[in-house]
Structure 1
Amino acid sequence: MADGTAGGVANEHFDVLIVGAGLSGIGAGWHLQASAPGRSYVILEGREAIGGTWDLFRYPGIRSDSDMYTLGYAFKPWREAKAIADGPSILKYVRDTARDYGIDKHIRYGHQVKCAAWSSEEAAWTVEALRSDGQTVRITAGFLFLCGGYYSYEAGYTPEFAGAERFKGQIVHPQKWPENLDYPGKRVVVIGSGATAVTLVPEMAKTAGHVTMLQRSPTYVVSRPAEDALANRLRKWLPAMLAYGLIRWRNVLFGMWFFRLARSKPEVVKKNIIDMVRAQLGPDYDVGTHFTPRYNPWDQRLCLVPDADLFEAIKAGRASVVTDHVETFTETGIKLKSGAELAADIIVTATGLNLQVMNGLAITVDGRAVDPGKTLSYKGMMYEDVPNLASAFGYTNASWTLKCDLTCEYVCRLLNHMARTGLRQVTPRNHDPDIERQPWLDFTSGYVKRAMEKFPKQGSKAPWKLHQNYALDLMSLRYAKLEDGTLEFANPKPARAKAREKVAA
């Protein structure tokens, strides 16, 4: 069947349309097949490959900053030795999942979704996607599930650096990494101090002449072994799913405990982290300047370095950290506000992402344009007055997939409930005038602060309150009743549709 006609009339309909074939989208396909069988679905992927983030980013050393026992799917055990895995291993895991469960057969590649319009009369979304051949196709769906992540794939964030046009070497952003960047033996400056920077520096330092991490301010950096010794032992003794489940829950509970401790006793946690860094780098290293942030732990995301690789590169003299501000790029490097100069052949701007709300779609409901920044977020996954739409968005203080798995389960519960009751529409409605609107994410990171005005708001109390807590979300999404006085189920199937279903049966 063709995707659409030249006149723009949709001639395909699916029960569920999923946007994105990355970690979240493939997980959504599995959950639909397992928990809402019989529902037709399609996955529209703007690029030509499965994998999302793990296919897009190609910079040296790319890896997870969450352990794979929680970043992996609940239904598919992670079987590799390394718990802190490299990007290619994660990409293989996602692609294997899609192939093993037949999810890949539902993917349409080269379909960049641009907009979606809800019609209450039809109880359906009409979704427009720009195909890689330049044609626009239209598909209708009863439910729209946005699984395309939280940042724009078009380009990363790069601030305007004075004098950048004068630099004679190469300037590279990690999101658009050149395929054959020649950096062995070269002087490299990596601007940034987040997860990408602390990944790039030790990896590039293996062959570069020297790598300097230039940061405006420090980030909390925590080292842990790349391999989880207990997990590897359990996998030898126990069935795969049992061992996986035990380690997954151990890591979930430890993460929740550590986050709570960081919020209740920030000075204690801060001291412990800094002491661990000092133990790695020695008493003569200026940990106070380069590894002691001005904010409390978990006000921003912590950076994880497996097997202390960043610290090892610094101790070996292959890498160094400079804490200063850029005054201007020069022909041969960077002049700092302190007056010092950093010579460079290559400058890597690991300066962050451009966050994107609702996968960048223009959304309308019965002809009314939806302004995401003026809506409330229901349970961190649906939106006030927007029917039959959910987004997969993970945790900021834990693994992405933990929340996405729960969101997928909840979407299946909604679909099954509507099928049982014969109702075609579910819409979060706020009936509480005392709800206060708050930023969706309580994070001080620059990439978050730049975008929060455009993002939906969370409310001051449930079910509009966004929990960064797996246990609370487990109760709220897996076990709490659906008809909670906030979700409005409506729009019964017309009598003629019911009659057709009876005849078909």
Structure 2
Amino acid sequence: MTAQHFDLIIIGAGLSGIGSACRIAEKYPNKSMAILERREAMGGTWDLFRYPGIRSDSDMASFGYNFKPWYSDQVLAKGGDIRNYVAETAREFGIQDKVHYGLKITSADWSGDDQRWTVTAIHEKSGELRHFTCNFMLNCAGYYNFDQGYRPDFEGQENFRGEIVHPQFWPENLEYAGKKVVVIGSGATAITVVPAMAEKAASVTMLQRSPSYIMAMPDTDRISMVLNTFLPKKTVFKMARKRNILFQRGLYLACEKWPNAMRKVMLGHMRRQVGPNVDMRHFTPKYNPWEQRLCAAPDGDFFKSLRSGKSHIVTDQIDHFSENGIVLKSGQELEADIVVTATGLDVQLMGGLQLKLDGKDVDMPKKLIYKGIMMQDVPNYGWIFGYTNAPWTLKCDIGGQYICRLFDLMEKRGARVVRPVDLEGNETGVGMLDGFAPGYIMRAKDRMPRQGREGPWKVTMHYGKDKQMLVEDPVDDGVLQFEQPEAANNSSNRAMKASA
């Protein structure tokens, strides 16, 4: 079959993929573009996850696109609203017809002779194999496995007479009204599911092995509501976005600089939310704030659910499942009709894509990340990986702008190929997320690319520094190697041999 050729292929039609596509399509309307999406609808995470209460855990002024203001008084948006926002943005920027749905990518191979990528995908409904080629590839496929979540094997789970559900694959017609529910986990998903299910269930118990930091935050932006009465909406949105970004960064830096003091602040906040008579053992994490992401509770809904008695919290470890529920190490048995395993994600970088250079696999854990958006020695390839300490999509916005600036410079120089090359030996052996400690990241450390000692090879997880580096600093920093069409082939072959 003849391969379809495009100037640019974007992998993934979620928030990152659509946001990047809009940025690039606006700047380069004449570039041919295809967005390859595995699912049958756009939205990515927000199309996949359908569990009760699903919402963002970042405010929408900073989680939404800078170029597409989120005009709503609601701070944390519902999953369906975010899904509609992504689709609406795609329509406004005329890229909805550029999405190819239902395609599972099986390989992406760079040809030094042809100076282009060949992408092979299978259309899952028909089983048809499809081929695409492109000059540049931008991977926006996220960081987790869409096919499976992380769920430990629990002893005796086959004996349980009830239903076990993972939030990543929520049954469409699951009936839980009047039933006893146990939610295993203490992360953002559990904090969301518990109060949502407690409205209808007979009882909901959150079973945690260890507590998380949970922050109650207003679910309506009252400051913006007041400002909207006398200022243009766009101005108010820009102010809210800047205010929220600065607040989030300030909170993170405070936790990094004064961990003991901020730990006391956060513990005091949670104590006020749950009331003076609660056992704080359930709300005292073993780690310092922001060693893992903070969990957000809009208008303190999680704490309200506990105070009302609609839900409960137990801190213990699972010994085994019984016919009627879960038996804990302490000997206590939690009766359940439904068990929700909010036990996390299975990390899968780049959508599980195995990159090849002239047929040879790229050993990703041996490669350095360049500016948090490209990969050492890999030509004409970008990767949008968002922030762990701020709204994910902030990186998508500045990443899209950087790709446009990179295209500008390539056109001015008449270059067809660009790749970052480490000429100074920046390898440190430090993974790109080694300072971030949630379980799903720790389980995937051996799969992560490396980061260098300094400069563009060091992963900052700092929006301000990244914005300076990606949007304002010169693109040509002496690290990128630009190659003319007639020279690219020989240079590519040398680089492939060196990296093999």
TM-score (structure 2 length as normaliser): 0.95
In structure 1, which of residues 302, 312, 323 is the aligned counterpart of residue 304 of structure 2? Answer: 312
Does residue 156 of the first structure (1) align with residue 188 of the second (2)?
no
Any idea what the Cα deviations from partners look like across 1:364-401, whole Å, max 9, x if unmatched? 11222101111111111111111111111110010011
In 2, Cα distance between equivalents of 1:254 and 1:179 = 37
Aligned mate of 1:186, from 165, 179, 199: 179
Give matches, 1:218-297, under 5 Å.
218-287=211-280, 289-297=281-289
Instruction: State the alpha-carbon separation in 2 of the partners of residues 439 and 362 from structure 1.
Output: 19
Name the CA distance, whole Å, in 2 between partners of 1:462 and 1:139. Answer: 35
Alignment match of 2:12 (pick from 17, 20, 34): 20
Q: Which runs of 5+ in 2 are unaligned?
A: 489-500
Displacement after TM superposition at 1:481 (Å): 1.2
Amino acid across the alignment from 1:482: V
The residue that corresponds to 2:59 in the other structure is: 67
CA–CA separation in structure 2 for the residues paired with 1:231 and 1:457: 41
Given that residues 235 and 244 in structure 1 are in contact (C-alpha distance below 8 angstroms), is that contact kept between their aligned partners in structure 2? no
Amino acid across the alignment from 1:123: Q
1:145 aligns with 2:138: yes
- Give the SS at the match of 1:258: helix
Map of 2:457 onto structure 1: 464
Contact 1:357–1:372 (CA<8 Å) still a contact in 2?
no
Question: Alignment partner for residue 115 of structure 2, among 99, 104, 123?
Answer: 123
Q: Aligned pair in 2 of structure 1 residues 366, 491: CA closer, same or farther (>3 Å)?
A: farther
1:63-462 matched pairs, under 5 angstroms: 63-132=55-124, 133-287=126-280, 289-441=281-433, 442-462=435-455
Question: Which SS does the other structure have where 1:415 is aligned?
Answer: helix
Asked whether the 8 Å contact 1:120–1:491 carries over to 2, the reply is: no
Assess if the C-alpha contact under 8 Å between 2:426 and 2:454 holds in 1: no
1:483 paired with 2:500, answer: no
> What is the aligned residue count?
486
Structure 2: distance between partners of 1:63 and 1:215: 21
Structure 2 Cα separation of the partners of residues 234 and 494 of structure 1? 57
Q: SS state of the match for residue 153, structure 1?
A: strand
Structure 2 letter corresponding to 1:491: Q
Asked if structure 2 preserves the Cα contact closer than 8 Å seen for 1:189 and 1:348, the reply is yes
SS of the residue 1:226 aligns to: coil
The whole-number CA distance in structure 2 between the counterparts of 1:257 and 1:228 is 19
Partner Cα distance (1:235, 1:156) in 2 = 42
Counterparts of 1:61 and 1:294, CA distance in 2: 27
Normalising by the residue count of structure 1, what TM-score does the alignment of the two structures yield?
Answer: 0.94
How many Å separate the matches in 1 of 2:486 and 2:219?
53
- Matched to 1:461, the amino acid is E
Q: CA deviation at 1:434?
A: 4.8
For 2:82, the aligned partner's letter is I
2:362 and 2:311 map into 1 onto residues whose CA distance is 48
Tell me by how many angstroms 1:493 deviates: 5.7
Instruction: State the AA in 1 paired with 2:74.
Output: K
The percentage of counterpart residues that share the same residue type is: 48
Deviations 1:309-335 (CA, angstroms, capped at 9, x unpaired):
011010110101100000000000000
Larger deviation, residues 362-371 vs 144-153: 362-371
Partner secondary structure for residue 327 of structure 2:
strand
Matching residue's letter, 1:158: R
Deviation digits for residues 75-101 of structure 1 (CA, Å, limit 9, x no counterpart): 011012201111111111111111121
CA RMSD between the two structures? 1.3
Partners in 1 of 2:260 and 2:275 — Cα distance?
Answer: 21
Residue identity in the other structure for 1:410: Y
Amino acid at match of 2:47: D
SS in 1 for 2:449: coil
1-side partners of 2:8 and 2:351: how far apart? Answer: 16
Aligned mates of 2:63, 2:486 — CA distance in 1: 39
Q: Could you report, residue by residue, the CA deviation over 1:52-72 in whole angstroms, capped at 9, with x for unpaired residues?
A: 000100000000000000110
The whole-number CA distance in structure 2 between the counterparts of 1:155 and 1:411 is 31
Note closer, same or farther for the CA distance 1:244–1:493 as it changes in structure 2 (3 Å cut).
farther
Q: Distance in 2 between matches of 1:239 and 1:119?
A: 51
Q: Which runs of 5+ in 1 are unaligned?
A: 496-505
The whole-number CA distance in structure 1 between the counterparts of 2:29 and 2:88 is 21
Amino acid at match of 2:130: V
Q: Please tell me whether the aligned partners of residues 376 and 437 of structure 1 are also in contact (alpha carbons under 8 angstroms).
A: no
**Cross-structure match for 2:495:** none
Task: Tell me the CA shift for residue 238 of structure 1.
Answer: 2.1
How many Å separate the matches in 2 of 1:237 and 1:459? 49
Specify the code of the residue in structure 1 equivalent to 2:21.
G
Given residue 169 of structure 1, which amino acid in structure 2 is its aligned partner?
G
Q: How does 1:40-59 map to 2 (within 5 A)?
A: 40-59=32-51
